[in-house]
Amino acid sequence: MADGQHPSLHDRTRTDSDFWMIPARTVVFDLDGTLVDTARDLINALNFVLDREGLPPVPLHSARNMIGAGARKLIERGLELDGRAASVADITRLTGDFVAFYADHIADLSRPFEGLESALDDLEGRGYRFAVCTNKLEWLSKLLLDRLGLSARFSAICGADTFGIAKPDPGILQQTVARAGGHISSAIMVGDAGPDIGVARRAGVPVIGVAFGYTEVPIVELKPDRVILHMNELPAAVESLMVRNNLSI
């Protein structure tokens, strides 16, 4: 095109089409232990259930790393600490009691991890969109994020019941990204534990591990692509993975 000439309508249309064909870059977060420090409210709900069964409470430091596989598994682990076995029917009953209590107290003590909102602001300014992929129930996840004033920041909030599959099944991550309007080829997972690393690896997605979450195995041993010690490190970690994987736009 000669100097001083304006692009033709055809040129502008092609440019706009090319722009809209670029996949939206999506950062997908685990919830408990990644976005929000939920341990105290979850363990309080567990101890409510254990107390009704005549069992002693579980200390926070003992139970913190039991979080992440859903309410049912948390209850099973809580019972195992006291050497108590329970039938499937008992676990189902206790899970119902747990969920009812937890829903009423879901944000009593739970708070976003320090630096989260600043990190989201930074990434949003760079054109990223966000989603939540958790093994928590979808309605509880939305309730928690609503109470904390965070729901509007996420294009999709998906739980283990949303698609009938849980992490580390790659389908839950793939469908979460799609629901958020993104593409799996331009997505990054952020999580704190084995299911998060596993789902990312199986879906072929780069993954950032947070070192402040809930995991029985230290996050560095799970070998994510990046490890961050604080949310203020998240934007740089995301950008470095986008560049490494030629996803930067």
* Residue 41 is among the residues annotated as catalytic for this protein: no
Which residue, 76, 71, 70, is CA-closest to 90?
Answer: 76
**In whole angstroms, what is the distance from residue 68 CA to residue 167 CA?**
10
Instruction: Please list the residues that pair with 228 across neighbouring strands.
Output: 210
Q: Angle formed by the axes of helices 88-104 and 71-81, to 10°?
A: 110
**In whole angstroms, what is the distance from residue 151 CA to residue 54 CA?**
37
DSSP label at 169?
Answer: S
Q: With contact defined as beta carbons under 8 Å apart, do 196 and 34 qualify?
A: yes
**In whole angstroms, what is the distance from residue 115 CA to residue 226 CA?**
18
Which residue, 190, 163, 164, is CA-closest to 176?
Answer: 163
Q: Which of 3, 30, 82, 108 is catalytic?
A: 30
Q: With contact defined as beta carbons under 8 Å apart, do 200 and 217 qualify?
A: no
Phi first, then psi, for residue 148 (nearest 5°) are -95, 0
Strands 36-37 and 111-112, by their bridges, are: antiparallel
**In whole angstroms, what is the distance from residue 60 CA to residue 150 CA?**
25
Q: Which residues does the annotation mark as catalytic? A: 30
